[in-house]
């Protein structure tokens, strides 16, 4: 692993960013790439309809693909003729993902009415995003002049990360798509392509708002030298958000009122948030009375963190560090945090660890803890219900009988997550002196690139 001083020095002297260039990562080993994709496809096939979320995605694809609003719940048992569809389904995500699901429905189930194939097709964008995230993280390091061995290790660490594989190929969650778009937006901003960065980040936030704190990090970065650049970035971001979020409701005539229910997540408690520790004493799932204000604790915390981060988002590594730190502050202080959300910060933290900015063990704990939390919920065992229903039943009976033990285990994992998360936040908000040269070089390159583009009629 490249040392902290060595990585910073190499980045300042020979980073392609300093010359206004960007080089893409060439595949280190095609056999391993194929193996990763095949592994994810096998997992996707074996766990094709094991989760409630997948049924919501399938229902949403049908609704959008047939011209209905995905935000109005409908009973689709008569449509899919399958026992897994029991009740009404409506999605809580902004329009981009439902629109993509509608396209997937038209290209899969509408042609071949097979729920198994349909579920696998829905996971294909996530599998592609997992691979893309590995390439983009590797490319970032390569452009920062990291050693080829370091680039390869990072590439492999994301291609075969158990947490990414489970969340994407097994669970079918789309957080890898958000992570890919958010990382691309940060790197575009660092390379001087601010307008495209703003639109890309708007798309990331409109796919899933968990990437929203990245906007604050980029504004600190682009506004360091000129407030006007920050205003321009905000304008392009707002325009992108209008196109990706508001325009579909207007163009397709969808009723937006059900979508407002997504705000309920700020009054919910539990999952991997710190409030889960309270499950040791109570089973309350919603903040009642004035306690709902706890759901907004992340707002002033982000303001304070942003003030601390001012001047620390210099250079590519600095921008990644501030982006990861602010996103973690948001996650750590939410009253509801789903395990897949952590995917958004995995790549930036791994890149920082490879550059020597963070201890590599922090990255490991960052994904091991949420994966262990998933296991503590017995979720992986439930995937076996098609092949070994008896094992699943016995496991769930055991979990119910020993509920106090599993609650205590989840509380311990949440505390571990809080410790590691805040450790990373503090480490990310410290600016090493070795970054000064890199910051100056990359900043000058970004300004020169921006002036060159503005000069083109």
- The residue that leads in pLDDT, 347 or 392, is 347
Mean per-residue pLDDT for 420-449? 65
Name the average pLDDT for the chain: 83
pLDDT value of residue 423: 96
pLDDT value of residue 90: 78
Beta strands in 382-441 (DSSP E): none
Mean per-residue pLDDT for 366-390? 78
| Start-to-end Cα distance in the chain | 45
pLDDT value of residue 453: 47
**Which residues are paired to 286 by β-bridges?**
268
pLDDT digits (tens, 9 = 90+) for 56-109: 999 999 999 999 999 888 878 788 877 667 666 778 899 999 999 999 999 999
Task: List helix spans (H) across 144-223.
Answer: 148-159, 162-165, 175-190, 194-207, 213-222
Q: What percent of the chain has pLDDT over 90?
A: 56
pLDDT band at 446 (very low <50, low <70, confident <90, very high): very low
Cα(213)–Cα(39) distance, integer angstroms: 32
Q: By the 8 A CB rule, do 313 and 319 touch?
A: yes
Report strand pairing: 74-75 vs 88-89: antiparallel
- The residue that leads in pLDDT, 269 or 176, is 176
**Which residues are paired to 270 by β-bridges?**
336
Mean per-residue pLDDT for 416-432? 90
- The residue that leads in pLDDT, 394 or 118, is 118
Cα(225)–Cα(297) distance, integer angstroms: 30
Mean per-residue pLDDT for 379-398? 65
Cα(270)–Cα(335) distance, integer angstroms: 7
Mean per-residue pLDDT for 343-361? 95
pLDDT digits (tens, 9 = 90+) for 7-57: 443 443 344 554 456 788 888 889 999 999 999 999 999 886 657 788 899
Q: What is the pTM of this model?
A: 0.87
pLDDT digits (tens, 9 = 90+) for 191-233: 889 999 999 999 999 999 999 999 999 999 998 878 999 999 9
Cα(174)–Cα(344) distance, integer angstroms: 10
pLDDT of residue 111 exceeding 80, the answer is yes
pLDDT value of residue 126: 97
pLDDT of residue 139 exceeding 50, the answer is yes
pLDDT digits (tens, 9 = 90+) for 240-293: 999 999 999 999 988 877 555 555 556 667 678 887 776 656 665 666 666 677
């Amino acid at each position: 692993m490249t040392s902290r001083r060595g990585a910073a020095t190499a980045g300042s002297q020979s980073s392609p960013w300093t010359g206004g260039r960007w080089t893409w990562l060439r595949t280190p080993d095609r056999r391993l790439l194929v193996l990763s994709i095949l592994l994810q496809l096998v997992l996707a096939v074996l766990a094709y309809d094991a989760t409630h979320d997948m049924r919501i995605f399938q229902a949403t694809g049908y609704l959008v693909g047939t011209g209905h609003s995905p935000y109005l719940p409908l009973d689709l048992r008569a449509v899919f003729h399958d026992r897994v569809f029991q009740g009404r389904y409506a999605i809580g995500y902004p329009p981009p993902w439902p629109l993509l699901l509608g396209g997937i429905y038209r290209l899969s189930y509408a042609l071949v009415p097979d729920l198994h194939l349909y579920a696998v097709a829905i996971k294909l964008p996530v599998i592609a995003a997992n691979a893309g995230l590995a390439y983009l993280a590797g490319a970032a390091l390569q452009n920062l002049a990291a050693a080829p061995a370091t680039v390869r290790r990072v590439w492999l660490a994301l291609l075969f990360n158990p947490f990414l594989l489970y969340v994407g190929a097994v669970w079918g969650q789309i957080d890898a798509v958000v992570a890919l778009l958010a990382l691309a937006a940060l790197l575009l901003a660092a390379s001087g392509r601010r307008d495209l960065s703003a639109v890309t980040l708007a798309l990331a936030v409109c796919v899933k708002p968990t990437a929203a704190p990245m906007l604050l990090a980029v504004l600190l970065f682009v506004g360091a030298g000129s407030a006007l650049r920050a205003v321009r970035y905000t304008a392009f971001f707002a325009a992108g958000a209008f196109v990706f979020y508001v325009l579909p409701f207007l163009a397709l005539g969808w009723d937006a009122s059900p979508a407002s229910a997504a705000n309920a997540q700020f009054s919910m408690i539990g999952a991997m948030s710190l409030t889960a520790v309270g499950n040791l004493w109570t089973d309350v799932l919603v903040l009642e009375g004035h306690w709902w204000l706890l759901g907004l604790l992340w707002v002033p915390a982000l303001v304070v963190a942003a003030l601390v981060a001012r001047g620390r988002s210099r250079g590519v590594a600095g921008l990644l560090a501030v982006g990861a730190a602010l996103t973690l502050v948001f996650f750590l202080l939410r009253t509801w945090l789903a395990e897949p959300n952590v995917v958004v910060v995995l790549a930036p933290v791994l890149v920082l660890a490879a550059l020597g900015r963070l201890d590599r063990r922090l990255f490991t704990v960052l994904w091991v803890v949420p994966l262990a939390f998933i296991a503590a919920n017995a979720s992986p065992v439930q995937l076996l219900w098609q092949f070994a229903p008896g094992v699943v039943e016995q496991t769930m009976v055991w979990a119910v009988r020993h509920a106090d033990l599993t609650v205590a285990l989840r509380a311990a994992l949440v505390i571990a997550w809080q410790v590691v998360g805040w450790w990373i936040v503090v480490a990310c908000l410290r600016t090493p002196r070795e970054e000064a040269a890199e910051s100056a070089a990359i900043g000058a390159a970004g300004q020169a690139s921006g002036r060159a583009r503005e000069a083109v009629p």
